Structure 1
Amino acid sequence: GGGGGGGGLTFEQEVEDIVKRGVEEDVKPDNIAMEVNGRKFAHDRTFGQCAQVILISMLRTMPVAAARKEAFACVQKLIKKWRALLGKFARSIEDQKGCLVALEAFVLDESWAKHKMMMPIAKTLYDQDIVEEEAVLGWATEAEERGQKALVKECKTLIDYLQQESEDDDEDDDEE
């Protein structure tokens, strides 16, 4: 491959190409990160913007699965495998929230909508320490305000669990 100079590709297209090739050819996460950093610098983008494009580009490499279970297994495998790459870019709570916002469009896309993938993906990102509970809860509050009530409702089990967790943490603090 390696198309010469890529006449005026957008930042998103360039990063998507890097990630797609990386996933398909099993490139080391560090090497992908280095290439993405080059694009980040050239286009003057933030880590958070990189993280969003990396996450969505990665998910776009998945074949559209017939069954939700298949799709879910595929997502888990992808995110587990590339967590180091995502972690390099999804640094702050804001960056992580941005990733969840970017996910909205992906999971609502007609090829995925029927699988209701918001919660499985968000939960995997949380389980793999890519997004923190504060980011998920913050996303949920803001998404409700933006009218994405259905997606937030899909994630209710996860959100309830995280709220419970953060309340438990608060109680621990009181005892000391």
Structure 2
Amino acid sequence: MVTGVHCYNKATWFGGIGIPVKSHLTRIDNCYLDYTGIVIEDPVHVHVTNALFIGDANIVLRSVHGKISGLNIVNNMFRSKSRKNFPIVKVKGNFHEIDQVVIDQNNISGMMLKSTIGKSKVYGNGTRWVVDFSHVLVFPNRINHYQHSFLVRSGQIVASAVTEVSNNVVVVETDRAVAGTISVIVHQ
């Protein structure tokens, strides 16, 4: 377990790594990543929580053997004053086996939020609503679960269904044209 560590060394954008993780069953709790981040190789049973990341410091998930299982990145704070909009979690390489990954409930300022859970509302008038989660979801083309609800402004009763889920985009269609709001929640 790594706890209470303040990392301030070579900055992330110069290739610096604050905490490298190459083993399983690792917990990182209540650490301060000061311009330098965490690099986790093939995370299996890794938990990162209650950390403060500043100055574009982030978490990199690096694929060596292509497996992630039992990874939690939750309740962290990310802050940057640069205008580069770095993602809080970045994937390097391809992971072909992804299981039990939760990246959620992190807060950001000046960085790009990444998560394994996406929530969105789309307002419109018609028969087709498209909700794109590619900007927020960590893994490409990997929506495992989805749920939608539909609020019709006119009070009409309409049938709605999810007709497509691909490339982190969800398409919902109705049986007739209406004005309304579609709410979608997805999980990877």
TM-score normalised over the length of structure 1: 0.37
Greater RCO (Cα-Cα under 8 Å, separation 6 or more): 1
Which structure has the larger Rg over C-alpha atoms? Answer: 2
TM-score normalised over the length of structure 2: 0.35
More helix by share: 1
